[in-house]
Amino acid sequence: MASPDWDIEDHQWRPTCFPHMRKAKLDRDEFLKDPKNKVIHSYVTALADLDAPKKALPLLQDKCRIGKYDRAIQSCLQERPGSRVLSLGAGTGILQLLAARGGAAHICAFERSHMLFRMAKQSMAANQHLLDTSVIHLVDRPLHMCYSQRPVEASAEYGEPVQLDEEADVLITDMFDHNVLGMRVLDAVDHAAKHILRPGAVILPAKVHVKAMLVDMRIGKVSGLDLSYLNSYRWHPQHEKLYVHRKSYLRISAPFDVCTIDLQTRVDALTTSGDEEDSVESILNSEKVETLQVEAQKSGCWNAVLMWFHLELDKDTTLASWDPTTDENNTMDGFGSSWGQAVQYIDETTVQGGESILLQVRQDQHQIYFETDPPQSRPHHAWVPRWHFDMVLDEQRNSTYENAVKNAIQLKRDMGQHPVQVLDVGAGSGLLSMISARAGADYVTGAEISAHMCDVGVLSEVMNGFAAKCTIVNQDSRYMDVLRKPDGTAPDMKRKADILVYEVFDSGLIGEGALHLVHHAQQKLLQENATLVPMAATVYAQPLEMRIKDVSGLDFQQANRWRWRPDYEGMELERCKDAWFPLAESSPVFDFDFYDIEGCMRNHEKRFEAKVSRSGTFNAIAFWFKLYLDEETVLDTSPYGNKGATWQQAIQFFEEVRVEEGDSLWLIAKHDSYGISFEVDDSTIDRMSCRTGVPQYDPVWFQRVHRVQQLNKELMKAVAQNPREYRSFAIAAVQMGSRPWDLDMDTDPAADFCTRFMS
C-alpha cells in the first residue's frame, strides 16, 4: 500500500481570509489556468444557476417591490409611448411582462442564468392569454456579446457577437442584491449604454441612494454566562445578508448617507461619448473613496455597519430595501422585503456617546466597502454557521433546558447519587455544559465534532470559571468510550454519565443524527439508570397550500415548479403567514421515546388521513415537533405558538393536487434513523383529474441537478481523503469569496461557497 502524499501539517492546516483581500484584484485568466480552480469555478457557477429560480421566488411575493416598479414603468411608458425597452435581469419575467402591459412597442430581455431564462420563458407562455407577449424577445446570448450600433469583438469563449434589430429607448433593471452591486449591475448598464441604448435613453431606476448605520451585533451574556468569544467568528467574506427585523442588535449611530450612484448620468455619458474613453472615465470615476464622520449617538461597542438602499425609480417613486422605522412599528409594508439588508462586520470598537467616528467608504464597479482607521487586519480561519448565534440567543430554549437539567440533577441528588456526571452531546459553545455545572453537576463532559466550536466552548468555560468542572472533547460522540483504547490511549470519559443532555435536533427533529447519538450513548457512555434530557418527542404534520398564483394581475403559477427539492427544508411559517394556508388540521404522526432508542431506530411507516377543511391546491406538508425535556417541561416548534428562534418548521414540497373541502387526503409518513419524509397515497386519488398543470419540478433543471450531484460526490471525496486537495479547494474558495466579480461571478454564491469551506 502506498503511503499518503500528505503529512500532519497538511491535516492541521486551516484556510485564512484577510480583510484586505477584498481590495486585491484577481487575474481571471491566471486563476483559471489551474485545472482545479477551473473545475471549482464551473461547479460553483452551476450551483448558483440551479439555485437561482428558487431564490427568485420571494421577489414574486414582494408586493411593495413589484407594485412600485409597475407604477414607475407605466408612468415612463405613458410619457414615452411606443418605446423600445431593454430589460436586464429577465429573471422571473415580471419586469418585461409589466412593460408589455404598459404598452412598450418592443422589449428585449436578457438573463445570464440558464435556469432563470427558462423561468422567464415559462412566465411569458403562461400569460399569452392576458397580453401580447409577442413584443417580448428573450435573448439567449450573454449581454456582453450583443450590440445594436457599436459592434463588440468576437470571443473565443462565446463566439461571434449578435446584432440586435434596433437601439432601445428605456432600460429597466432590478439587478440589485443586498450588497447593492453584487450582481454586477454596473457592468451590465455600462455595456447596454455603450452598445444598445440610443442617446437620450432613460433608465429605471435613475439613481441608487445607499444608507447605513453603525450597530452592535455582539453576543454578550447569555443566561447569565459570558459567550462573547463567539463574536470572533462573526465575520463574512462579503456583506452578510440578514433580515434585521428578526435579529437582536443595538443602534450606535443614526442612519447616514453613504453614496449616491447616478445611473442616469452614467447612461447619458456613455450613450453620447462615442469613442472618447477619457471623458467617460472622468464621469464614471470607477473607484471613489470618501471619508465620513459618523457621530455615535450612545456609548457602547460597535462591530458592524448595517447597509441598505433606496432606488429612485422616477421623480415620484422611491423603493427602499429597508426602513429603519420598521423596528418601531413592526411592519414590512413600506419597503422591498425580498432584498434583505447587508452587514459588514468590523473589529469591535468602543465609543462614547457624541464621539465622531471616521469611516472610509470605497465604492467601485462591484462593491461598497467600509474601512476604519486603522484598517481591519484580523485574519479569519473559521466561519461558524449563523444558526449557532440564533440558537444561543434563544432565551426560551435556554431557560427551558436549564429547568429540565436542574430537575434531573436534583432528582439524582434525591436518590443519593454522588457525584453526578453529565454528558453533553453536541456541546457547541459549551452553554448547556456550563448550565449543567451551574445547576449542580459535579463534572460535565461535552462532545463536539467541530474543532472551531470546541475552541469557543473551551474558552467560554474558562472565562466563566467552569474549567475545573467542564471538559470538551473534540470528537464525534459515536466514537467515544469509557474504556482505554487498544493502543493504550486514555478513555474519553473516566466513567459513564448519569445524565445525558443533548440538543442535536434540526427542523425535522432527527435529521442531524440525534437517534444515532443517543443509541451509542446508551450502549457505551451512560449508566443503566441514566436520565435523558430530552426524554421524548412527538412530530406533527399538516398539509398546506404554499404557492404563487397571480402577481400584479399576471399568471405566475408555473413558477411553483421551482420550489421542489428532494429533501425537506426549514422555514419560519409564522413569519410568512400571507404565503400559505392550512388545508386540514395538524395530526400527530410519530412518537419518539428516547429511552426506547432501539424502537426509535427501526424504520417506521404510518398512513394517516387529513380531512380537507378548505378547498385549495395541496403542494406541501409542514411538520414540527414537541420536545419533552422531562414530564413537565416542553419545547414546541409549532407555527401557531410562541416558539423561539432556534428551530424552524420543516417543509416538504409535492406535485400539486387540487383538493376540495370535505375531501380525504391520505398521506404516508415514514422515518428511518436519519430523517422523516412524506408521500401521497396515490391509490386514493385520481391525479389526472386533480392536476393543476404545474409539474413537480422542471425536467431540465432536474437533469442538471443530477449531473452536478455526481460532480459534488467526486469533489467531496477528494477533499475528504486528501488534506492537500482540501487545501487547494479552500484557497480557491477564499479567493472566489473575496473577489467574485474578478472571476465573472455574482457575490452571493461565491461568498456562500467560501463560508462552507471555512466552516
Taking only the tens place, the pLDDT of each residue in 233-281 is: 999 999 999 999 888 899 999 999 999 999 999 999 999 875 555 556 6
Is residue 196 very low, low, confident or very high in pLDDT (cuts 50, 70, 90)?
Answer: very high
pLDDT, mean of residues 315-324: 94
Secondary-structure class of domain 208-388 per CATH:
mainly beta
Residue 283: pLDDT above 70?
A: no
Equal fold, 208-388 vs 536-701: yes
Residue 754: pLDDT above 90?
A: yes
Residue 345: pLDDT above 80?
A: yes
Burial class (CB in 10 A: 0-12, 13-18, 19+), 172: buried
Residue 705: pLDDT above 70?
A: yes
CB within 8 Å of 180: residues ≥ 6 apart = 208, 210, 261, 307, 309, 342, 368
Contact 636, 592 (CB under 8 A): no
What span, in angstroms and rounded, lies between the C-alpha atoms of 431 and 222? 8
Three-state DSSP at 315 gives coil
Of residues 757 and 539, more confidently modeled: 539
What span, in angstroms and rounded, lies between the C-alpha atoms of 617 and 319? 33
Residue type, 147: Y
DSSP label at residue 429: T
CB within 8 Å of 111: residues ≥ 6 apart = 89, 90, 91, 117, 120, 138
* Helical packing angle, 185-195 and 263-272, nearest 10°: 30
Contact 620, 569 (CB under 8 A): no
Place of cell 479552500: 730
Contact 492, 481 (CB under 8 A): yes
Three-state DSSP at 445 gives strand
Question: Residue 136's beta-bridge partner residues?
Answer: 107
What span, in angstroms and rounded, lies between the C-alpha atoms of 185 and 182? 8
Q: Residues 508-534: pLDDT tens digits? A: 999 999 999 999 999 999 999 999 999
| Residue 248, C-alpha cell as written in the block | 437582536
Report pLDDT for 281. Answer: 61
Is residue 151 very low, low, confident or very high in pLDDT (cuts 50, 70, 90)?
Answer: confident
DSSP for 660-701, written as a single string: -TT-EEEEEEEE-SS-EEEEE-GGG--HHHH--S--SS-HHH
Place of cell 462591530: 303
Is residue 130 very low, low, confident or very high in pLDDT (cuts 50, 70, 90)?
Answer: very high
Residue type, 706: H
Secondary-structure class of domain 536-701 per CATH:
mainly beta
What span, in angstroms and rounded, lies between the C-alpha atoms of 629 and 692? 43
pLDDT, mean of residues 393-411: 96
Q: Please name which of 362, 326, 356 lies closest in space to residue 341, comparing C-alpha atoms.
A: 326
User: Which of 272-281, 444-453, 633-642 has the lowest average pLDDT?
Assistant: 272-281
Residue 329: pLDDT above 50?
A: no
Residue 427: pLDDT above 90?
A: yes
Report pLDDT for 374. Answer: 87
Q: Residues 63-82: pLDDT tens digits? A: 999 999 999 999 999 999 99
Mean of per-residue pLDDT scores for the chain: 93
Secondary-structure class of domain 389-533 per CATH:
alpha beta
Q: Residues 371-399: pLDDT tens digits? A: 998 888 899 999 998 899 999 999 999 99
Question: What ranges do the domains of the chain cover?
Answer: 8-49+702-758, 208-388, 389-533, 536-701
